Amino acid sequence: MIHPDIIWRVNTERRNAQVRRGYADCAAIAGPVSREDDALVTFRPVATVGERFVMALLALFNAGTAIAFIGWLLLPAHVPGPGVVGPGGWRLGVARLAFCVVVIVEATRLVQNFAVWVFAFAMKDPVPKTPVAGLRVAVVTTIVPSREPVHVVERTLEAMLRITYAGNVDVWILDEGDDPAVREVCARLGVRHFSRKGIARYNQERGQLQLLARPFRKILRCCGADGPRPRAA
């Protein structure tokens, strides 16, 4: 008989592997890279023409059935207490209230269906472009040591240090707590450390990034401490 702890560990590892695969999928670029000289960011539809056509058909079918159902509900014979004027007792009042709730729910679902179709039809991905060489790039992540484990952000920093780019890449961490453990990790990895703790001019709106926005000016890439691992600048 397999011990429950072993089963729990196996299931935990399987879930962790699924999460890592999900992170890897999220970190993938949005389609083929454009090598045009134009630096302007452009967008392309996520769905193909055929997929959008199928979405439109499904949305129309869904809307048609919803409208037909709402119309059927509103037929005089289906309204609770047809021909009864006034409250008609508490049972009839409850029935009418429930009837109104059903109609409102179906009408809301109809509007929601239309909204989902509009956003799905219009969704676009930015077209990845080859980076301009020779810029100075700051890759930044943040940490609140009292709420985020240091080992999690350490993995992100290691991935940030593996970024390859034909220019100067500086890896920074903005430490909200000025934690000694975070400083130790930065010293060991060669990451630039900054904390605004106790510095009044940086404890304002956009305070943290003001330090980096001035010297870098060109490119400032922010990464979540526990988000998908960055692959390239």
Contact 34, 130 (CB under 8 A): yes
Structure-derived torsion over alpha carbons of residues 97, 101, 76, 91, reported in degrees to the nearest 10: -20
- Tell me how many degrees the CA angle 150-156-157 measures, rounded to the nearest 5: 85
Residue 217 has pLDDT above 50, yes or no: no
Contact 142, 195 (CB under 8 A): no
pLDDT band at 89 (very low <50, low <70, confident <90, very high): confident
CB count, 10 Å around CB of 117?
18
Name 133's Cβ contacts closer than 8 Å, sequence gap at least 6.
166, 167
Residue 226 has pLDDT above 90, yes or no: no
Residue 108 has what pLDDT? 94
Mean pLDDT (the chain) is: 81
Average pLDDT over residues 97-110: 92
Residue 24 has what pLDDT? 66
pLDDT band at 230 (very low <50, low <70, confident <90, very high): low
More confident residue, 9 or 121: 121
Q: What is the DSSP-derived secondary structure letter of residue 229?
A: P
Domain 131-233 has CATH 1.10.287.3510: no
Q: Which two tokens stand for residue 139?
A: 């890759």
Residue 26 has what pLDDT? 64
* Percent of the chain whose pLDDT exceeds 90: 28
More confident residue, 18 or 124: 124
Residue 214 has pLDDT above 70, yes or no: no
Q: Which residue has the tokens 């106790």?
A: 198
Structure confidence by residue, pLDDT tens digits, 49-88: 999 999 999 999 999 999 999 999 989 888 887 777 666 7
Average pLDDT over residues 26-48: 77
Whole-angstrom distance, CA of residue 30 vs CA of residue 44: 9
Average pLDDT over residues 184-189: 94
Confidence (pTM): 0.51
Helices 180-189 and 150-161, interaxial angle, to 10°?
A: 20
Structure confidence by residue, pLDDT tens digits, 107-164: 999 999 999 999 999 999 888 888 778 888 888 888 888 888 898 889 889 988 988 8
Residue 232 has pLDDT above 50, yes or no: no
Residue 23 has what pLDDT? 67
